C-alpha cells in the first residue's frame, strides 16, 4: 500500500493535460535542451582553439567540459528542492542568468583554472538550475504522450548542435574564441525567456497546499496505534481537569494517572512534529528513493553511461582534425550527427509511445548498438568514413536519449520524478566528471584520439548490463504482483472484509480506552 505522501502527490500530478499550454512547456524544454546539452556537444569546436591557445594537454582541456557536466549532475537535487520551495519559473530564470555570467567571465580567463571555474563550474551550475526544473514540468504536463514529448523536447539538443557547431567555428575564425564566448553568453540569456514560459499547473498543489493538508498528512504518517491513543489521552486529560475543579477527592484518587496521560500526550505531539518535519523534507527531497532497488540499479546504468555519453562529442572534431580533415569539414561531422540524432529521438520516441516492447528493453538494445558503433570508430580515417560513423552514432545516440527519462518515470512514478531526476543526476555526476578526462588520459598515453572512443564503448557495454538486471527485476516484480492477485478475490470483497475487520477492532480499542 502506498504511503499517504505518495498518494497525495499522485492525486495532484494526475491532472496532466497532454495538450493546450503543455505545448508551450514543450517549446521551453526544447530550447533548454539546446542551450545546455546542445552547447556542451558543440563545445568541441572551442576545444581545439583553447587547446592550441594555452598549449596544454588533451586531458587538461577536457576538464572544462567534464566539470560543467559533473556540476549539472551534482546540483540537480538542489535544483529540484529549490523548485519545490519557490517555483520552477524563478529557478530557471536564475539559472539562465548564472549561465550567461559564467560564460561571459570565461571570455576573460587568463588560464585554464579560470576557465574551469567560469565555463566549467558556473556554467554547469546554471545548466542544472534550468534543465532539471524544465524537464520535471514537462513530465507533469504530459502523461499519455510523455515518451513523444520527451523525445521532441530532447530534439532541441540535436537541432541547436547542428546550428551552433558551424556557427561557433565561424565566430572563432572571426572574433577568436574569447569573442565567441561573449556572444555565447548573450545567447544563453534566452534561458530566462524559457523560464518565463513555465506556468504551473492549476491542479498541482504540491507546493501551495494549505496548512490543514499538512496536518492531515502528519496525522496519517503516524502509526495507527499512536493516532488512536492520542484521542483517549486528550479525553482523559480533559476529564481529569473537570474532576479537579469539582471534586478535590477525585484529584487525589487519580493523581497517579495524570503524569502517565501527560507523557502520552507529549509523546504523541512529538511524533506529530517528527511526522510534520518528515512531510516537509519529502516535499523537497524524497530521500526514500535510495532504498528503492530498481532506482539504484538504474542509477548505476546512468553512472557508467555518462562515462561514454559525453566523450565522443568532445573528441570527434579533434579526431577528424588529427586525420587531416579541414576545419569546416570536421565541424560538419557534428552537424551530420545532430541531424541523425534528431531523427533518432523523434522516431524512436514515437516507437516507445506505441508500447510494442518494454521501454527498458528498447533502451538496452540501443545502448548496446551505441557501444558497438563507438568501438568501430577508430577504423574510420577518411571524411566519408567519418561521416558514416557520425550518422550511425547520431541515430543510435538519439534512440538512446529519447527514452531514458521515460524509463526513469516508469521506475519511480511521475509523482516522484522531480526528486528522482535530481538523485539520478547526482549519482551520474561522477561518470560525467571522469569520462572526458579518462578518455583524454588514454589519448595522451597512446597519442591517438581513437582510444577515447574505445573507452566510451566499453563503458556503455557495462551500463547495458545494469539495464538487463533492471529488466529481470521488473519481471520478478510483475510475477509477485500476479501471485498476490491470485490470492485476492477479483471483486475486492476480501480487501473490504479486511477493512471492516480493522474498523471493528479500532472501535473495540476506542471503547476499551474510553472505559
Q: Which domain holds residue 371?
A: 4-207+284-478
Give domain status of residue 239, yes or no.
no
Residue 411 forms part of a structural domain: yes
List the chain pLDDT tens, one digit each, 515 residues: 444 444 444 444 445 577 778 888 999 999 999 999 889 888 878 887 888 888 887 778 878 888 888 888 788 888 888 888 888 899 999 999 999 999 999 999 989 999 999 999 999 999 999 988 998 888 888 877 777 888 788 888 888 888 888 899 899 999 999 999 999 999 999 999 999 988 887 644 444 344 444 444 444 444 444 444 444 444 444 444 444 444 454 444 444 554 555 665 566 666 665 555 555 555 555 667 777 888 888 888 988 988 887 777 778 888 888 888 887 888 788 888 888 888 888 888 888 878 788 888 889 999 999 999 999 988 888 899 999 999 999 899 888 887 877 888 888 876 777 677 777 877 777 777 777 788 878 888 888 888 888 888 999 999 999 999 988 888 887 776 666 656 555 444 444 444 444 544 444 444 444 44
Question: How many domains, the chain?
Answer: 1
For residue 160, give the CATH number of its domain.
1.20.1250.20
User: Residue 501: inside a domain, yes or no?
Assistant: no
How many Cβ atoms are within 10 Å of 315's Cβ, its own excluded? 26
- What pLDDT score does 223 carry? 44
Terminal Cα-to-Cα distance of the chain (whole angstroms): 33
**CA distance linking residue 194 with residue 90, whole number of Å:** 11
Q: How far is residue 301 from each of residues 32, 71, 470, measured CA to CA in Å?
A: 24, 19, 9
- So what's the pLDDT on residue 119? 92
**In this structure, is residue 186 part of a structural domain?**
yes
The answer as to whether 95 is a domain residue is yes
In a domain, 35, yes or no: yes
Give the pLDDT confidence score for residue 29 in this predicted structure. Answer: 92
Q: What are phi and psi of 108, to 5 degrees?
A: -105, 15
CA distance 80 to 104: 26
Does residue 221 form part of some domain?
Answer: no
What is the length of the chain? Answer: 515
Quick check: is 75 in a domain?
yes
Amino acid at each position: 500500500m502506498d504511503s499517504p505522501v505518495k498518494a497525495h502527490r499522485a492525486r495532484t500530478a494526475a491532472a496532466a493535460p497532454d495538450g493546450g499550454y503543455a505545448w508551450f512547456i514543450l517549446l521551453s524544454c526544447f530550447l533548454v535542451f539546446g542551450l545546455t546539452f546542445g552547447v556542451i556537444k558543440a563545445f568541441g569546436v572551442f576545444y581545439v582553439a583553447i587547446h592550441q591557445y594555452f598549449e596544454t594537454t588533451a586531458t587538461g582541456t577536457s576538464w572544462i567540459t567534464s566539470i560543467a557536466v559533473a556540476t549539472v549532475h551534482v546540483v540537480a537535487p538542489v535544483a529540484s528542492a529549490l523548485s519545490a520551495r519557490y517555483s520552477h519559473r524563478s529557478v530557471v530564470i536564475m539559472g539562465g542568468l548564472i549561465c550567461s555570467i559564467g560564460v561571459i567571465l570565461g571570455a576573460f580567463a587568463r588560464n585554464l583554472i579560470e576557465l574551469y571555474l567560469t565555463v566549467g563550474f558556473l556554467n554547469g551550475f546554471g545548466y542544472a538550475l534550468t534543465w532539471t526544473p524544465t524537464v520535471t514540468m514537462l513530465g507533469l504536463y504530459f502523461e499519455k504522450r510523455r515518451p513523444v514529448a520527451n523525445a521532441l523536447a530532447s530534439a532541441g539538443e540535436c537541432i541547436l548542435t547542428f546550428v551552433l557547431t558551424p556557427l561557433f567555428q565561424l565566430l572563432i575564425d572571426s572574433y577568436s574564441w574569447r569573442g565567441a564566448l561573449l556572444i555565447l553568453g548573450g545567447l544563453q540569456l534566452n534561458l530566462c525567456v524559457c523560464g518565463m514560459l513555465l506556468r504551473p499547473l492549476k491542479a498541482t498543489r504540491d507546493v501551495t497546499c494549505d496548512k490543514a493538508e499538512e496536518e492531515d498528512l502528519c496525522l496519517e504518517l503516524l502509526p495507527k496505534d499512536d493516532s488512536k491513543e492520542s484521542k483517549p489521552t486528550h479525553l482523559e486529560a480533559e476529564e481529569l481537569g473537570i474532576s479537579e475543579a469539582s471534586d478535590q477527592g477525585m484529584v487525589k484518587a487519580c493523581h497517579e494517572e495524570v503524569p502517565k496521560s501527560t507523557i502520552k500526550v507529549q509523546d504523541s505531539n512529538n511524533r506529530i512534529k517528527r511526522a510534520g518535519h518528515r512531510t516537509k523534507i519529502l516535499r523537497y527531497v524524497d530521500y526514500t528513493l535510495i532504498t528503492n532497488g530498481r532506482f539504484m540499479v538504474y542509477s548505476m546504468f546512468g553512472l557508467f553511461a555518462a562515462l561514454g555519453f559525453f566523450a565522443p562529442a568532445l573528441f570527434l572534431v579533434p579526431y577528424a582534425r588529427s586525420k587531416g580533415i579541414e576545419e569546416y569539414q570536421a565541424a560538419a561531422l557534428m552537424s551530420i550527427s545532430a541531424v541523425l540524432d534528431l531523427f533518432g529521438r523523434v522516431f524512436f520516441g514515437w516507437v516507445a509511445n506505441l508500447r510494442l516492447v518494454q521501454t527498458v528493453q528498447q533502451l538496452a538494445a540501443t545502448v548496446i548498438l551505441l557501444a558497438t558503433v563507438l568501438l568501430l570508430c577508430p577504423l574510420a580515417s577518411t571524411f566519408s568514413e567519418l561521416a558514416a560513423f557520425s550518422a550511425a552514432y547520431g541515430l543510435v545516440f538519439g534512440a538512446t536519449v529519447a527514452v531514458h527519462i521515460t524509463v526513469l518515470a516508469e521506475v519511480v512514478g511521475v509523482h516522484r520524478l522531480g526528486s528522482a531526476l535530481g538523485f539520478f543526476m547526482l549519482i551520474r555526476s561522477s561518470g560525467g566528471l571522469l569520462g572526458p578526462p579518462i578518455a583524454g588520459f588514454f589519448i595522451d598515453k597512446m597519442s591517438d584520439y581513437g582510444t577515447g572512443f574505445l573507452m566510451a564503448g566499453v563503458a556503455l557495454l557495462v551500463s547495458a548490463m545494469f539495464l538487463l538486471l533492471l529488466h529481470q527485476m521488473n519481471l520478478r516484480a510483475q510475477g509477485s504482483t500476479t501471485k498476490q492477485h491470485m490470492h485476492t478475490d477479483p471483486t475486492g470483497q476480501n480487501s473490504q472484509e479486511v477493512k471492516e475487520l480493522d474498523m471493528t477492532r479500532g472501535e473495540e480499542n476506542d471503547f476499551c480506552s474510553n472505559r
